Amino acid sequence: MRKGLNELAGLPASPRRQQQELGLRVALASALAATKGYSATDVTETIVRAQTLAEQIDQPERLVPLVYGQWAIHFIRAEHKLALSLAEQLEKIGETRNDVAVQLQGRRAQGVTRCYLGEFVVARTLLEQCHGLGEPAHRAIGAGLSSDPYAMMLAQLGVTLAHLGYIDQGRGRLNAAISEARRLRQALTLPNVLYRGTWIESIIRSAKIQQYADEGLALSIEQGFPLFLGWAIAARGWVL
């Protein structure tokens, strides 16, 4: 993708060149997020440049994954209030465009953020409204820059339920998320879901945390995912 951007830099300025650059930068942002982590400067710069291009050539439909990408950046940096405002913005974009998939993705992002803010009751309500993400037409909206949105919704709902004391229900949602992640065989999704597994098991001090941590560690080393590698190592340390 970077080779493609280098080639484009030598071409005369035109709307066509801008459109090609936009496509390459959106795809590059996904690769960088996976291999460097969302908080990396390269990811931020790529997403900001892509958003500028989308606005210049008037392609509002391309803004959705970019706003989502910004949410992920601030979320990973633990800038949760800012992340929440971007998640709310995403849902409003969906409402304006009458796009159910975008609305659901914005609502899911709000639920995840609320969970990290410790607002578990609100998080549960938001996440339970997102089961529509399981529909093929809806789940594709978030997969370009992240993990599968439906599997992640189930996993985060599992965490939220566990925090509220509903351990069996939480594990049930987690097991469904793991099954979905294995079925999809999407590289980013399974280690992300397994991290939520270590989270749930840590709440009840279960030794099963090591099973999830070990698998997540192996996947992260195999795929070169630094963010999930760090999470898996931390989970193993918790077990020790």
Distance of alpha carbon 233 from alpha carbon 212, whole angstroms: 11
Q: What is the pTM of this model?
A: 0.86
Residues in Cβ contact with 10 at an 8 Å cutoff, skipping those fewer than 6 apart: none
Q: How far apart are CA 219 and CA 211, in angstroms?
A: 13
SS3 120: helix
DSSP 14: -
Are the C-beta atoms of 156 and 127 separated by less than 8 Å?
Answer: yes
Phi-psi region of 99 (alpha: psi -120 to 50; beta: other; left: phi over 0): beta
CATH number belonging to domain 147-240: 1.25.40
Domain boundaries of the chain, sorted by first residue: 147-240
pLDDT of residue 234: 95
Q: Following DSSP, what letter does each residue of 93-132 receive, concatenated?
A: HHHHHT-HHHHHHHHHHHHHHHHHTT-HHHHHHHHHT-GG
pLDDT at res. 167: 96
DSSP, collapsed to helix, strand or coil, labels residue 147 as: coil
pLDDT in the model for residue 90: 92
Residue 147's pLDDT is what? 83
Return the pLDDT at 66.
86
Residue 218 has, within 13 A of its CA and on its CB side, a CA count of: 5
Residues of the chain with pLDDT under 50: 143
Tens of pLDDT, residues 164-207: 999 999 999 999 999 999 999 888 899 999 999 999 999 989 98
CA-based radius of gyration for the chain: 18
What pLDDT, on a 0 to 100 scale, did the predictor assign at position 39? 78
